[in-house]
Structures are given as C-alpha cells and as structure tokens.
Structure 1
Amino acid sequence: MSDADRDAAPTGLRRIALGVQYDGAAFRGWQAQPGGGTVQDALEAALARFAAMPIRTVVAGRTDTGVHALGQVVHFETPLSRADFSWVRGLNTYLPRAIAVQWAAEVPADFHARFSACARTYDYVLQVSPVRPALLAGRVGWVHTPLSVAAMREAAVHLLGTQDFSSFRSSECQAKSPVKTMYRIDIVAHGEFVRFRFCASAFLHHMVRNLVGCLVAVGRGRAEPAWLAQVVAARDRGVAAPTFMPDGLYLSEVGYPSRFTLPRPTLAALPGQAAPGASEALDRCDRSDEGGAATAEYPEAAR
C-alpha cells in the first residue's frame, strides 16, 4: 500500500484542497513548530476556529523561513459540508494578513497535496541595484553589480533534463535521491529586476537558491557559462556558489493531473529554455498519475 493510499480520506470525511498564498518573511517557515509562528500553525488555527474542531493539514511542499508562496497547495479532511467559497471566505476572516486562501475545492479521496503533485514551479525575483532595497526588503533578492542575462541563459542550458543535482542540495537534505528532472528555466529582465523561473519534477532542499547563486556568479562574470556543466558533473556541493538569500524565492505553482480539476495560478509566459521532451513530461499529469508517484519518493521542497 502506498503512502497516498494510507492517507486516503476515511469514509464519511470530505477531502478539501486549498490554494494558499503567503508572505514568508512574516513566519518561521511552513512546518508547525513548538511556540508557533509558522504558516501551518496559523492556517490550522484558522481552520479550528472556522470548523469548530481541530484539523491537520498536508502540504505540497514545506518552505523555509523567508520563502513565499503564490500557489501553495494543502489538503485536509473534514466531516463538514460547506460550499467551496465558504472555506475561502471563512478562513480568510481568521487568517493574519500575510496569509490568504485563494481557492478551495473538494477533491477525490485519492488526492494528496504532496504525493499527487507531478511538477513544481519556483520563481526567484532579484533586484539589481547599487543599494539594497527598502520597500521590497524581504520580498526580493539583491545584487549590487550588473548581470549578463545572456550569459545566465547560456549557463542554464546545462541544468535542463534529468540529472543528479547533488551539487545543489543542502547538507540537511533528506531526499532519497538527488536525481530530478528540470523541465524548463526562464530568465528575464524587467527593468532593474531579474526573474528566474524553474519548473521541475521536484526539488532538493535549497536547490533553487543554490541554482540562483551559481547563475548569478556567471551573470557577474565570475565564471563562464560552461562552468555550470562542471558543477553538475562534480556532484559536490563544495564546488558550487554559496546559497543565495531566501528573500526573493516564491513557490509559484504545484502541478497535478487534470482529472483533479484544481484551479491554477496565472503565471506570465516567459521566453526561456525547455528541456527536450519537457512538454511531453508535463503532459503525464493528464495521461496518468505516474508523475505524482515519482514525486512521492522525493518529499523535499526547494526551500
């Protein structure tokens, strides 16, 4: 029996999925901790007040302190029968301003926020400015020297496809395998901002922040684009650039098979590089649950 089967909703309970947005700077990460102060603590407190009973949530991907979410997904079980939007309106009444439920949907008993996911998309927003940001402090990363977007795009090609990403995992990573499939990378300049977008089957702990650190090193001229291929091949965290700050990292979307008919956040289309067969790999979500089963083996988020 799979983990997802063991976690199926008991008879008589409804399984509800939520799309959640939050400002990670206001919390001690996602996962509940003694003393509270996490996104999970706040969401479950709001659920308990609205449902008048304790409710535990399961999340698509845990995020660290300072990491934000535009499209986090959670699920929970409840005996209550309420309209989808009633969950949205009711929970937002009790949630702090830095968290907002975007949508709610009743889902089949075999849906699992983490194990059913077949792809995840993270954005990293970086401000390129001589002085550090004030109004956007905590919401964007920052570098004070100019970057070559062309060089970073050239380097990003070496990260596409199914590869061993050991050079980009933290020492605390608990994933069973460092092998992931990077479907697409987009790097686009918007005035003094640069946005990085990564879409993959799953991510290792700190993987996106480590990828951004390496791409920025190339963009600043400290390394050639081909260096990134050497970093990947080394499978050694020590040869990569330092981990970038969490401030500009956003969990933008979690992909599921279309049979679950979940709402999707609207992400602006960006020009970028896609791995050969990336579209076909993502289409597995619509053909079967194979992608979700593979993701279940690697529970770590990019954090």
Structure 2
Amino acid sequence: MRVKAVIAYDGGYFKGFQKQKSTKYTVTTAIESALISLGIDSEIRGSGRTDAGVHATGQVIDFELPDFWKDLTKLKEVLNRKLKHISFKHISKVKDDFHSRFSAKRRIYRYIFKTTRPSIFEEKYIAYYPVFSEKLLQQALKKFEGEHDFSNFLKTGTITHSNIRTIYRARYKKYNNYHIIYFEANGFLRSQVRMMTEVAMQVALEQFSIEQLQEQLEVKKRYITTLAPPEGLYLARIIY
C-alpha cells in the first residue's frame, strides 16, 4: 500500500532534506531510519528538496507500507514519538501511481523576516533585513510572475532538464512586526526561492535596480548570486 504523508520539520537541525553520502543528518535519513525500526523498508520520495537550515510546514512524502501496517493513525503517533524535529501531520492511502514530486501541481513557499534583529528565540526561524521600501519590494516581486527562464536564479552546478518555471503568485504582506513573502509556482529550481528573495530585497533596499532585475530575469546578465538566509524560508504547501 502506498501512502502519502504531510510533514513539518525544523531545518536548523538538518543538512537538508535529501540523503547525502557525507552526512546522516538529513530529513530523509532520519525518516527512513525510523521506518526501518518499524519494519518498513521503503525509500521515501519527497515533493522537493530543501536546503540546509530551511524549514517545512507542509512537505509531502510518499512511501510503500507493508500489509501489517493498516492503522495509519497509530503509525503517525509512533513515528512522532520516534522522531525529533520532524512531525507527521497526516498519513493517508493514495493510488499506486502517486508520486510526491511528479504528481504535484503547485508549490508554495513563504519567507519570513524582520527589520529588527530577531530574538534568540526567533533567530533560527526568522531572517533579518534592514528597513526597506515596501513599494519597491512589491514591484520587484511582480516581475517574477509568469513563465520565465530562471537560469540566472539557481545555484551553480545544478543540472536540470529545463530551467523554465511559471510563478503564479509572488506577494508581500506585513503581519505585526513580521514581513512575509509568498511564492507559488508549478515548481522551483535549486535555491531559486532564496535567490529571488535576495534579489527582490536588494531592490527594496535600493542596492539593485528593477532594470537590473529584469536583465537577470531575461538571462542577459547575472548580477546577484547570493542567497537569502535559509532560516527565514518555509516550504508551506504542496497542491495536487
């Protein structure tokens, strides 16, 4: 039986979502180790990778479940007792052809930051940027909407079949002392959200122009390759 699970995790404790040969501290390794201890010998598939330090409130994974595990509520409870810094929110049965990554229609990320230094209780979960122009930030984010070749907005060394993605929504809003950026797309390249955030914030800080952003987006010239800090980024939701 194939099952889908919606999970949340604190990315500050992991070197990323995907398994790596150089470290055992990944989200995938932690979950697969917990599954093996329950007699579930199945690799998990995720809707997408997240970098080291990046969090998730709505990551989706799927894996194969042996016949003797029929009680999905109990499985969720047992896994949540075994795992640290990872929480299983829902587990449900899906069709055999379901794939967390390839079946996904849209992905939503949120980026949270403050213009005052986060407290010691926030610094792992909230990023910091100086005071900025909200109007310029909104203008910059609007440029990302639509279908574009994001070759200048991914981490170097990344191999993909296509760098074309469609951004359905790029928005900013303020909530109390927190500033939140939303990106909704059919998919994202490696570190694309962090690079788009950094470029948009540099425009908002008047360190970078809308015209330069447009040139980078049109793959004419690459000005900025730095990434926004990982602690402010959350994989929020996957839409199927």
Normalised TM-score (structure 2): 0.93
* Residue of 247, 269, 287 corresponding to 2:231: 247
Say if 2:138 is the partner of 1:138: no
- The within-5 A match list for 1:36-47 is 36-47=24-35
- The within-5 A match list for 1:146-157 is 146-157=131-142
Q: Partner residue of 1:297? A: none
**Offset of 1:132 from its aligned partner?**
5.2
Q: CA RMSD, aligned part only?
A: 1.6
* Residue of 43, 55, 66 corresponding to 1:68: 55
Normalised TM-score (structure 1): 0.75
**Offset of 1:48 from its aligned partner?**
1.6
- The within-5 A match list for 1:84-123 is 84-96=72-84, 98-123=85-110
Say if 2:180 is the partner of 1:195: yes
Aligned length: 238
* Residue of 42, 59, 67 corresponding to 1:55: 42
Secondary structure of the 2:103 match is coil
Say if 2:142 is the partner of 1:162: no
> Taking every aligned residue pair, what percent have the same amino acid on both sides?
29
Tell me: CA distance 1:63–1:251, structure 2 relative to 1, closer, same or farther (3 Å). Answer: same
Secondary structure of the 1:167 match is coil
Looking at structure 1, the residues matched to 51 and 150 of structure 2 have their Cα atoms a distance apart, in angstroms, of: 20
Looking at structure 1, the residues matched to 219 and 136 of structure 2 have their Cα atoms a distance apart, in angstroms, of: 21
Looking at structure 2, the residues matched to 221 and 63 of structure 1 have their Cα atoms a distance apart, in angstroms, of: 29
Contact conserved, 2:4 with 2:92, CA < 8 A, in 1?
yes
* Residue of 17, 21, 28 corresponding to 2:4: 17
Contact conserved, 2:118 with 2:127, CA < 8 A, in 1?
no
Secondary structure of the 1:253 match is strand
Looking at structure 2, the residues matched to 30 and 173 of structure 1 have their Cα atoms a distance apart, in angstroms, of: 16
* Residue of 223, 228, 231 corresponding to 2:213: 228
Looking at structure 2, the residues matched to 213 and 223 of structure 1 have their Cα atoms a distance apart, in angstroms, of: 10
Contact conserved, 1:59 with 1:75, CA < 8 A, in 2?
yes
What are the superposed Cα offsets for residues 91-112 of structure 1, whole Å, 9 maximum, x if unpaired? Answer: 111111x100000000001111
Greater share of residues in helix:
1
* Residue of 161, 176, 195 corresponding to 1:176: 161
Looking at structure 1, the residues matched to 28 and 172 of structure 2 have their Cα atoms a distance apart, in angstroms, of: 31
Unaligned runs of 5+ in 1: 1-13, 257-303
What are the superposed Cα offsets for residues 118-167 of structure 1, whole Å, 9 maximum, x if unpaired? Answer: 111111111211x4542112212111x21111111112221111111112
Unaligned runs of 5+ in 2: none
What are the superposed Cα offsets for residues 150-202 of structure 1, whole Å, 9 maximum, x if unpaired? Answer: 11111222111111111211112222111100000110122332111100011
Say if 2:115 is the partner of 1:128: yes
**Offset of 1:79 from its aligned partner?**
2.1
Q: Partner residue of 1:276? A: none
What are the superposed Cα offsets for residues 214-259 of structure 1, whole Å, 9 maximum, x if unpaired? Answer: 11111112233344222212354x3135211111111111111xxx
